[in-house]
Every structure is written in C-alpha cells, then in structure tokens.
Amino acid sequence: MKATIAVGDKDSASHELRQLRAQLDAHRREAQDKERQLERYASDLRETFKAERARAEELRGSYVDTVRALTNAVEARDAYTGAHAARVAAYGLALARRVDPNLAANPQVEFGFLLHDVGKVAIPDGILHKADRLGDEERVLMDRHPIIGYEIVRNIESLAEAAQIVLHHHERWDGSGYPDRLAGEAIPLADRVFAVVDTLDAITTDRPYRPGSSLAGARAEIRGMAGTQFDPAVVNALDELGDSELERIRQGEV
C-alpha cells in the first residue's frame, strides 16, 4: 500500500512538473514575443524621429534660403556692401556663441541678423546711394528703415523674435540710437551683439573712398566705443574671438 501511494505521488508530481515546465515555456515565449514587439516599436520610433528630424532640417534649410533670397534682393541695390548681411550674420553668430551659446542656437537670431536692413527696400535709390551727407528730411526717412523692416518681418509668425532684432539694430548702449533710444540691457542682447559686428564689418570692408582697415585697427576702434556705442561685455567677448575665425569670415570662407 505504501509503495502504491509512492508511485501515485511520483506520477502526479512529474505531471505537475511537466505542466509547470509547459507554463514556463509559454511565459517565456510570451515574454520573447513582447520583447520582439517592443524592439519593433523602438525601431519604428527611431525611424519616425529620424524622418521628423530630417523634415525639420529641410524646413529650416528652406527658411534660411527664403531669408537669404530676401536679403539678396535688398543687397542687390547696394553694390558696395556685397555680401554684407551674410558676413555680419556669420560674425554675429561667432560672437553670439561667446556671449551666450543659447543665443547663437536660436535660429531666429541668424534670421534677424540676415534681415536687419530689409526695410531699406522702401528707401528711394536717390537717398540710399547718395554720396553726400543726407539732408534732414532724407535722414529722417533713412532712419525709418528699422521700423519699416520690422513691419515687413513681424507679420511672419515664425519670425517674431527676428523682427525685434530688425527693429533695434541701430540702438546704442548709451541710449543715443534709434528708433526707440533704448539703453543698456533694455536693448535685446542679439542687437548688442549685432551692433559690434556691423561696425566690425563696416570698418574692415573696402569702400570706394577708403580701403578696409585691418582687424587690429577695427578691434581698437570698437574697444574705444565700449560703454558708449557698445555693450562692454560684448566688446570683451570680441577680444576672446581669435583673428583666424574673423579672417575666415572676412574672406567669405564661412
């Protein structure tokens, strides 16, 4: 009797074991299926992310192209400045990286730099190209170009910050600029950077009436206007920017 019970127990134990094994196998298969499914999801997600990133890059590229086309349309009227806007934007981004990396990473900053003089489309040739000093009325009209540019750009929703840069690109640190006579840190940081590189480009570019100055000469002149025309902190940041980087931009290599 004892032996019969033992055989029965053994049979039922091995049956239970088989069942447990079968259950375990089923769980394992289920887990493997789930893992494969998760891997598929992850891979789909990666593909979607890659495609989205490519689309965003494409969109940004077409924005830059459009902004450049608009910029070129303005500059085509002024034979002397040539690629001024593209150079200023390159100088500006290099300097902005020193001043605040977040500023340089904002694509609207580059757009604002490129579009700064877009308002000049509304300035008559006779004033824009006048070799002599502008008369009072002509000066008033010329000085409206930041406001006109702002009016052009502000209606494009995605360029709202760029429009602010356009509006304030002729403000001065000491409050004697235009159109709003903003002073100090009330001037958007991007415009404080812009003011320095706009002057850097003006001083180092050849003009019909004078050759462009050296970088060292431009640096000294800008240093002399720290605290009046320019934000001293931005001028200090310019000192940290190496000649080779500025020279590459000047030669049109960037």
Which stretches of the chain bind Fe ion, using CB under 5 A? 117
- Asked if residues 169 and 115 have their Cβ atoms less than 8 Å apart, the reply is no
* Residue closer to Fe ion, measured from CB, 117 or 201: 117
**Identity at 80, one-letter amino acid code:** Y
CB of 48 to Fe ion, least distance (A): 43
How many helices (H) and strands (E) the chain has is answered by: 12, 0
Q: Taking the complex as a whole, how short is the minimal distance between the CB of residue 198 and Fe ion, in angstroms?
A: 7
Q: Which residue is nearest to Fe ion (CB)?
A: 117
Task: Please tell me which residue in 2, 34, 120, 130 is annotated as part of the active site.
Answer: 120
The nearer residue to Fe ion, 75 or 231, going by C-beta atoms, is: 75
- Write the CB contacts of 171 (distance below 8 Å, at least 6 apart in sequence): 177, 178, 180, 181, 182, 183, 187, 191, 195
130 carries an active-site annotation: no
Q: Which is nearer to Fe ion, 113 or 237 (CB)?
A: 113
In the bound state with Fe ion, the residue whose beta carbon lies nearer, of 75 and 117, is 117
Looking at the DSSP assignment, which residues form a beta bridge with residue 203? none
Q: How far apart are CA 123 and CA 22, in angstroms?
A: 85
Q: Give the nearest distance from C-beta 153 to Fe ion in angstroms.
A: 13
Q: In angstroms, what is the minimal distance from the CB of 203 to Fe ion?
A: 15
Which of helix, strand or coil describes residue 195? helix
User: What CA–CA distance (Å, rounded) separates 125 from 3?
Assistant: 117
Q: Show which residues are catalytic.
A: 120
